[in-house]
């Protein structure tokens, strides 16, 4: 156990990006042509990522690669977390007067999750895949919280983002993945620009 935790920090650096295995695509050069994303757009983007995470955990459990009971327990609990986050974000979108986008984020699925799944060969790879997805969930929460202006929205989003960070760390240790850990999360959008759900 001690070695596992030590490994988390083995790669500590001063870089501001945790650099998950699945890197977001370069920013869309046409991105400035549209209107700035609204609060409901940002919340829907987070919602779509929660749906994607829920589906990804289901695929992970169903894939036949899970060997250890503690891994199965973690995947099961974390999928439940994402269901709760999904429901909370649906409520936030509706409270903001928007229409909830309850579909797995298609861009993130194609650019981040699917390429990751294609490289999964064993349980540890699977744990690494969902660890990366949790980091993206946490980073997106920080990004959204740095933009929305209502304190109650910031708080609600970060209450979920903080738990995503816990999950990422737990998975990192569970898989002995040795991810670097930073003093502060960056505020940049971890998703491709075209993954933002439009209103």
Partner 1 sequence: MPDPSAPAARPRATNTRRTFLRRAASGVAVVAIGPALVPVSRFLPAAGAQASGDASLAAFAESIELVAAAAYEAGADFLSDDLAPVLRTFAAHHAEHAEAWADLAGERATGEPNPALLEALTPTIEGFGSQNEVLRFARDLENQLSVTCGHLLTVLEGGDAATVAATILPVESSHAAALSYELQEGLEASFPFGAVESAELLFGLDPAVFPVAPS
- Residues 119-138 binding partner 1 (CB under 8 A) are 119-120, 138
Q: Which of 22, 37, 90, 177 binds partner 1 (CB under 8 A)?
A: 37
Q: Is 106 in the site for partner 1 (CB under 8 A)?
A: yes
In this structure, what token pair is assigned to residue 140? 């997106």
CB of 130 to partner 1, least distance (A): 14
Cα Rg for the chain, rounded, in angstroms?
A: 16
Q: Which of 36, 62, 64, 97 binds partner 1 (CB under 8 A)?
A: 36
The backbone region for 12, taken as left when phi is positive above 0, alpha when psi lies in -120 to 50, beta otherwise, is beta
Number of residues that bind partner 1 (CB under 8 A): 88
153-172 binders of partner 1 (CB under 8 A): 154-155, 158-170
Distance of CA 22 to the CA centre of its chain: 11
Our CB check for partner 1 shows the closer of 97 and 149 to be 149
Q: Is 146 in the site for partner 1 (CB under 8 A)?
A: yes
Q: Is 95 in the site for partner 1 (CB under 8 A)?
A: no
Q: Which of 21, 23, 25, 28 binds partner 1 (CB under 8 A)?
A: 28
- 8-state DSSP, 68: -
Residues 131, 134: Cα–Cα separation, whole Å = 5
Q: What is the dihedral of CA 165, 85, 46, 26, to 10 degrees?
A: 40
């Amino acid at each position: 156990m001690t070695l596992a935790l030590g490994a988390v920090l083995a790669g500590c650096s001063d870089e501001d990006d945790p650099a998950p295995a699945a890197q977001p695509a370069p920013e869309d050069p046409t991105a400035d042509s549209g209107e700035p994303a609204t609060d409901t757009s940002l919340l829907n983007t987070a919602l779509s990522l929660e749906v994607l995470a829920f589906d990804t955990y289901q695929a992970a459990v169903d894939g036949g690669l899970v060997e250890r009971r503690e891994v199965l327990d973690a995947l099961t609990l974390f999928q439940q977390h994402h269901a709760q986050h999904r429901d909370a974000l649906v409520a936030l979108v509706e409270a903001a007067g928007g229409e909830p986008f309850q579909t797995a984020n298609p861009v993130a699925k194609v650019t981040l999750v699917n390429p990751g799944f294609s490289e999964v060969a064993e349980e540890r790879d699977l744990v690494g895949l969902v660890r990366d997805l949790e980091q993206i969930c946490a980073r997106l929460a920080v990004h959204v919280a740095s933009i929305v202006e209502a304190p109650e929205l910031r708080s609600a989003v970060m209450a979920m983002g903080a738990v995503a960070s816990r999950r990422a760390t737990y998975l990192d240790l569970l898989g002995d993945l040795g991810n670097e850990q930073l003093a502060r999360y960056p505020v940049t959008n971890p998703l491709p620009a075209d993954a933002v759900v439009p209103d």
